[in-house]
């Protein structure tokens, strides 16, 4: 499989799995109950943060897709970052924040 196709499929998979565990309730509220059962410890806080969870979800994808250690390392961060961008673009309640524009007088 072409590395670019694998990367794109990996990014969408990372986004979907991360979104499922951190935001969605799931069928019969399975994921909601899972998040509640994890409490406020490390694992509970991890599922509450899309950004943090996307790094951990992208790790197995990067390990499978990458060939060298450097490639695996970079794929992990790249897929997590791309999943975060997908999440930012898909949020309706939180518009994308643009940098402040300064005007000189």
Q: What is the pLDDT of residue 72?
A: 94
pLDDT above 60 (res 64):
yes
Of 29-38, 47-56, 61-70, 73-82, which gets the smallest average pLDDT?
A: 29-38
Per the prediction, the chain carries an average pLDDT of 86
pLDDT above 60 (res 71):
yes
pTM for the whole structure: 0.80
- The pairs formed by 25-34 with CB atoms below 8 angstroms and a separation of 24 or more are none
The residue extents of the domains of the chain are 3-90
Tokens linked to 79: 């897929």
Q: Are 57 and 14 in contact (CB under 8 A)?
A: yes
Phi/psi at 67 (nearest 5 deg)?
Answer: -100, -50
Region 35-49 average pLDDT? 82
């Amino acid at each position: 499989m072409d590395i670019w196709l694998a990367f794109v499929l990996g990014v969408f998979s990372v986004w979907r799995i991360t979104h499922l565990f951190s935001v969605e309730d799931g069928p019969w509220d399975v994921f909601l109950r899972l998040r509640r059962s994890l409490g406020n410890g490390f694992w509970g806080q991890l599922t509450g943060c899309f950004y943090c969870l996307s790094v951990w979800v992208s790790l197995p994808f990067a390990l499978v897709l990458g060939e060298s250690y450097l490639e695996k390392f970079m794929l992990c961060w790249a897929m997590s970052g791309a999943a975060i961008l997908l999440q930012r673009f898909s949020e309706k309640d939180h518009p994308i924040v643009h940098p402040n524009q300064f005007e000189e007088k």
